[in-house]
Copies of this chain bind each other. A is one copy, B any other.
Amino acid sequence: MPRPDLKDRQDLSIYWDNHLRVAFNEGAPHIYPAMVEASLAHVYMLTKQGILPRARGKLLLSGLLALWERTESGAQEYLFDGSVEDPYYFLEQQLARECGIPTSELDVQLARSRNDLDAGVFRMVLRRQLLAQTSLVVQAAADAAAQAGVNAESLIIGFTHRRPAQPTTIGHVLAGLSEALLSQATEMLSIYAELNVSPLGSAAFTGTDLPIDSELVGRLTGFESSFTSSYEAVAGAEHFMRLAAVHARITATGARFSRVLLEWMTFKWVETPTSFTQGSSIMPQKKNPVVLEHMVSMAGVTAADMAATYANIGSAWYEDSNNATTDVQKHLWRAGERVERFVRMLDGLLLDLKVLALPSHDEIVASGATTTAVAESLAARGIPWRAAHDIVGGLVRANAPADWSTDGVAAAFAAAGTDTTPELVEITLGAGQRPAMILSRAQAGSPGSQAVRHNAAESQGRADALGHEVQRRRESLDGIREALMATATRAVAGDTW
């Protein structure tokens, strides 16, 4: 066997070719812009604190502003040419060029480390992604609730253990789903709060003796507070694990719903929306809603990204380690992007949900789904529950409810050793014939149509409130970023600090 080659690019070392090149390509487009943003705040603070001379500060700021403009306009390219190992040194290289000085004269990294800068930009990238994801989850919750309201009387057969169970409505199912989504969105905002704490200023993990103002850097970059332990600020990974878990949670629940939706399409209760299907290469009759298969796969993959995140964190030391921090970012980014695509498709399917042909009352009765109602009616007249259950069970195993007879019912009572009356027989014969009775169920949270509408309205209210919270955070981040650019521009122009 000829010796296999250990690298693809002969100008690079084995390590650079097989790791650093790949890591740069994955990471730079995500984190470089935030690195520039954080550097603007850092240099401004250093100068304001008198740690950097003003002329030096202005030079660096003007360079950073130029870099920022390049990333904003989309003009920045991220080519791994083998001259620098990672985005951190790439920033130095770009900045030195922009300022017209050698990198050896750069002060941008003074009183900070790649560690706290990385920790900071990881949070800056993830918090914006998290808000985007949250807004989609909130919207899906709102749309599920809206469709619940619309479908509060769309009567269907509810299943348990894959068997017809009881009548319910599409609205009842969707109102439940909306609650699950709201649970997720609520946790997402709690994770946001944990993400939005600044590690900037913690340096390698011990801080610094230089008179920096970490709080100022944090404020300028939109963080709500700053670290209280410089060790945990650099080594900590709690926020990464929480984020990975909520990603997997969103897709797991969505996968569950996608299977229900697929069946509604199979039963033709709802339309199979053509824009969400693919044809078959060989079977002319087919219109495959494979989107729902892919959503299940996305749940599997997102659970795997969570597994990778926990595994890499759990295999690190409690100290600065790429395992626990740098190396998990790509999973969080990848899973985050997948969650966005997943929830968009889920929401699209919810918005497109159109009732086609609901099961007829006869079908519902024939499925056996109304027999619980019979047993409950008997129990309401004093028949012990287990006996009522047995009587009705015997009847339904012999015939569908539509075929029950007075004699048969009487015989079933007799077989159970229970006395009967004409009223009880009539109840037995009648209570299972009216599946739509469920629509007038009064109990809160039940499929009764008023109950569903009430539940849906409450969920819409919660979604509105959460949406407002998401929006407030987004506007805050945008506003603070604009303010930072303005501040830096003023400092360069007018020497104001």
Q: Which of A61-69, A322-330, A353-361, A479-487 contacts B (4 or more CB under 8 A)?
A: A322-330
Interface pair A206/B168, CB less than 8 Å apart: yes
Contact residues of A: prevailing secondary structure: helix
Contacting residue for A297 out of B111, B327, B375, B467, CB 8 A: B327
Please name all residues of chain B whose beta carbon is closer than 8 Å to the beta carbon of A379 when the two chains form the complex: 107, 110-111, 210
State in angstroms the CA–CA spacing of A3 and B88 once bound together.
36
Interface pair B393/A284, CB less than 8 Å apart: yes
State in angstroms the CA–CA spacing of A6 and B376 once bound together.
40
A244-268 interface with B by 8 A CB criterion: 245, 248-249, 251-253, 255-257, 259-260, 262-263, 266
Interface pair A297/B322, CB less than 8 Å apart: yes
A229 within 8 A of B: yes
**Interface membership of chain A positions 255-291, coded 1 if the CB is closer than 8 angstroms to chain B and 0 otherwise:** 1110110110010000000011011111111111111
Contacting residue for A259 out of B107, B293, B317, B331, CB 8 A: B317
A76 within 8 A of B: no
Q: A242 and B241 in contact (CB under 8 A), knowing A158-B205, A208-B376?
A: no
A201-260 interface with B by 8 A CB criterion: 201-210, 212, 214, 226-233, 235-238, 241-242, 245, 248-249, 251-253, 255-257, 259-260
State in angstroms the CA–CA spacing of A120 and B470 once bound together.
33
A70 within 8 A of B: no
Interface pair A163/B444, CB less than 8 Å apart: no
Shortest Cβ gap from A159 to chain B (Å): 5
State in angstroms the CA–CA spacing of A308 and B180 once bound together.
20
A319 within 8 A of B: yes
**Interface residue tally of chain A, by bracket?**
35 or more
Please name all residues of chain B whose beta carbon is closer than 8 Å to the beta carbon of A209 when the two chains form the complex: 373, 376, 380, 437, 441-443
Please name all residues of chain B whose beta carbon is closer than 8 Å to the beta carbon of A108 when the two chains form the complex: 385
State in angstroms the CA–CA spacing of A285 and B202 once bound together.
19
Interface pair A260/B307, CB less than 8 Å apart: no
A123-166 interface with B by 8 A CB criterion: 132, 135-136, 138-139, 158-166
State in angstroms the CA–CA spacing of A438 and B331 once bound together.
36
Interface pair A320/B2, CB less than 8 Å apart: no
State in angstroms the CA–CA spacing of A249 and B313 once bound together.
9
A476 within 8 A of B: no
Interface pair B179/A445, CB less than 8 Å apart: no
A460-494 interface with B by 8 A CB criterion: 464, 467-468, 470-471
Please name all residues of chain B whose beta carbon is closer than 8 Å to the beta carbon of A1 when the two chains form the complex: 135, 138-139, 464, 467-468, 470-471
Contacting residue for A160 out of B107, B132, B319, CB 8 A: B319
A98 within 8 A of B: no
A94-122 interface with B by 8 A CB criterion: 103-115, 117
Contacting residue for A441 out of B107, B207, B241, B347, CB 8 A: B207
A178-195 interface with B by 8 A CB criterion: 179-180, 183-184, 187, 190, 194
18 A-B interface contacts by CB (under 8 A): A18-B342, A53-B382, A103-B386, A108-B385, A114-B281, A158-B205, A167-B206, A177-B232, A183-B236, A206-B446, A228-B455, A256-B316, A256-B317, A283-B369, A284-B392, A296-B315, A299-B315, A300-B311
For the A-B complex with A107-B385, A160-B321, A173-B231 known, give 9 more contacts whose Cβ atoms are closer than 8 Å. A115-B282, A168-B205, A168-B206, A252-B313, A263-B317, A285-B368, A300-B315, A303-B307, A303-B314
